[in-house]
Amino acid sequence: MKIEKKKKAIVPLSKRERKRYVLLEVLNAAVNEKDFYFGFWIEMLSFFGSKGLAEISPKLVLYRENKAILKCRRGKETELIAGLAFIRKIRNKKVILNTIAVSGTMRTLKEVGKIS
């Protein structure tokens, strides 16, 4: 009996779900990536609930120099930004999350935010 490897079906670009990237800056406190990640999830989960969070589908893509790039579904970026406005504390540190830009590509946000 011969075992054959099956190739995964590649989803064409036209059928893939669209996404948006949000660039934000953490002000007032030095927060490392791990603290930001867990604090962000806890606060967003308490605000939106599990169903709302699943619809937005946020993911932390990059965190450097107190700047973060988050990925979400297209059309849900305004809800993500609204949720970010309600975050006041991350790991008992008072923070302000300032949204800088929203884009369809990470390259544009890296240029705008001057992130290497």
CB 31 within 8 Å of CB 25: no
Q: Is the pLDDT of residue 22 over 90?
A: yes
DSSP 34-48: HHHHHHHHHHHHHHH
Closest CA to 22 of 116, 98, 114: 98
Quote the DSSP letter at residue 15: G
CATH 3.30.70.3250, applies to 18-103: yes
Q: Is the pLDDT of residue 72 over 90?
A: yes
Q: Between 7 and 53, name the one with better pLDDT.
A: 53
Domain ranges (residues) in the chain: 18-103
DSSP 87-109: --EETTEE-EEEEEEEES-HHHH
pTM: 0.84
pLDDT at site 101: 95
